[in-house]
Amino acid sequence: MINPAVHAGFGELDLDEAVARLTSPKHGFRLVLEAADPCPRVALVSPGLPEDPWGIFGGHFGQLSTPSPDLLLVGIGAVTELTAESARSLGRLLGARLENRSRLGEITIDLRPLSDGTPPAALVAAFLSGLRRSTDLTCRFAILIDPAMVFDESELDRSIATGDAQWFSASLTDTPSNLLTPSVMAGLSLKIAFALRLPCVVRNEDRLIAEEFGAILAIGEGSVNRPYLVEIGSREPAAVVFVGKGVTFDSGGLSLKGPSDMQGMRYDMAGAAAALAAVAALARCGISDGVRAVFPLVENLPGPGAVKPGDVVRAYDGTRIQIMDADFEGRVVLSDALALAGESQPRAIVSVATLTHQATVALGAEVAAVLSRDAVLGQRLLAVALRAGDPMWPLPWGERYRSQVRLSPTTVRNHPMADQGRAITAALFLGEFVPGDVSFAHIDLGGSVWAGDASTGSATGAAVATLIELGRELAAELY
| pLDDT tens sequence across 183-210 | 999 999 999 999 999 999 999 999 999 9
Q: Average pLDDT of 315-325?
A: 98
* Residues in contact with 360: Cβ distance below 8 Å, sequence separation at least 6, in sequence order: 446, 447
pLDDT at position 238:
83
CB 163 within 8 A of CB 202: no
State the Cα–Cα distance between residues 108 and 110, nearest whole angstrom: 6
Which has more pLDDT, 442 or 6?
442
- pLDDT beyond 90 at 10: no
H or E stretch including 470?
Answer: helix 464-478
Angle, CA 23 vertex, CA 285 and CA 466 arms, to 5°: 55
State the Cα–Cα distance between residues 172 and 449, nearest whole angstrom: 12
State the Cα–Cα distance between residues 166 and 461, nearest whole angstrom: 5
* Residues in contact with 293: Cβ distance below 8 Å, sequence separation at least 6, in sequence order: 230, 231, 232, 233, 241, 242, 243, 244, 275, 276, 278, 279
State the Cα–Cα distance between residues 240 and 112, nearest whole angstrom: 35
State the Cα–Cα distance between residues 233 and 228, nearest whole angstrom: 17
State the Cα–Cα distance between residues 412 and 428, nearest whole angstrom: 10
| pLDDT tens sequence across 44-74 | 988 876 655 555 677 889 999 888 888 899 9
Burial of 106: CB neighbours in 10 Å, binned 0-12, 13-18, 19+: middle
Please give the share of the chain, as a percent, with pLDDT higher than 70.
Answer: 94
pLDDT at position 69:
83
- pLDDT beyond 50 at 373: yes
- pLDDT beyond 50 at 3: no
Catalytic residue among 92, 158, 292, 331: 331
pLDDT at position 33:
87
Catalytic residue among 97, 101, 140, 257: 257
- Structural domains in the chain, CATH included, are 34-146 (3.40.220.10), 164-478 (3.40.630.10)
pLDDT at position 103:
63
Burial of 452: CB neighbours in 10 Å, binned 0-12, 13-18, 19+: exposed
Burial of 95: CB neighbours in 10 Å, binned 0-12, 13-18, 19+: buried
CB 6 within 8 A of CB 179: yes
pLDDT at position 55:
57
pLDDT at position 235:
82
CB 188 within 8 A of CB 6: no
Burial of 395: CB neighbours in 10 Å, binned 0-12, 13-18, 19+: buried
Closest CA to 133 of 162, 104, 175, 98: 162
224 DSSP assignment: S
State the Cα–Cα distance between residues 152 and 394, nearest whole angstrom: 32
* Residues in contact with 186: Cβ distance below 8 Å, sequence separation at least 6, in sequence order: 2, 202, 204, 228, 230, 297
pLDDT tier, 100 (very low <50, low <70, confident <90, very high otherwise): low
H or E stretch including 157?
Answer: helix 153-174
Closest CA to 147 of 119, 115, 106: 115
Question: Hey, how many other C-beta atoms are within 10 angstroms of the C-beta on 149?
Answer: 18
Is 257 in the active site?
A: yes
| pLDDT tens sequence across 397-451 | 999 999 999 999 999 999 999 999 999 999 999 999 999 999 999 999 999 999 9
Which amino acid is located at 35 in the chain? A
* Residues in contact with 281: Cβ distance below 8 Å, sequence separation at least 6, in sequence order: 22, 158, 161, 162, 164, 165, 464, 468
Which amino acid is located at 244 in the chain? G
pLDDT at position 39:
75
Q: Average pLDDT of 383-395?
A: 97
State the Cα–Cα distance between residues 178 and 169, nearest whole angstrom: 17
- pLDDT beyond 90 at 117: no
| pLDDT tens sequence across 131-177 | 999 888 888 999 999 988 889 999 999 999 999 999 999 999 999 99
pLDDT at position 52:
55
pLDDT at position 170:
95
- pLDDT beyond 60 at 307: yes
Please give the share of the chain, as a percent, with pLDDT higher than 90.
Answer: 80
CB 457 within 8 A of CB 263: no
State the Cα–Cα distance between residues 20 and 41, nearest whole angstrom: 29
- pLDDT beyond 50 at 343: yes
State the Cα–Cα distance between residues 246 and 368, nearest whole angstrom: 17
Predicted structure pTM score: 0.94
pLDDT at position 50:
61
State the Cα–Cα distance between residues 424 and 397, nearest whole angstrom: 6
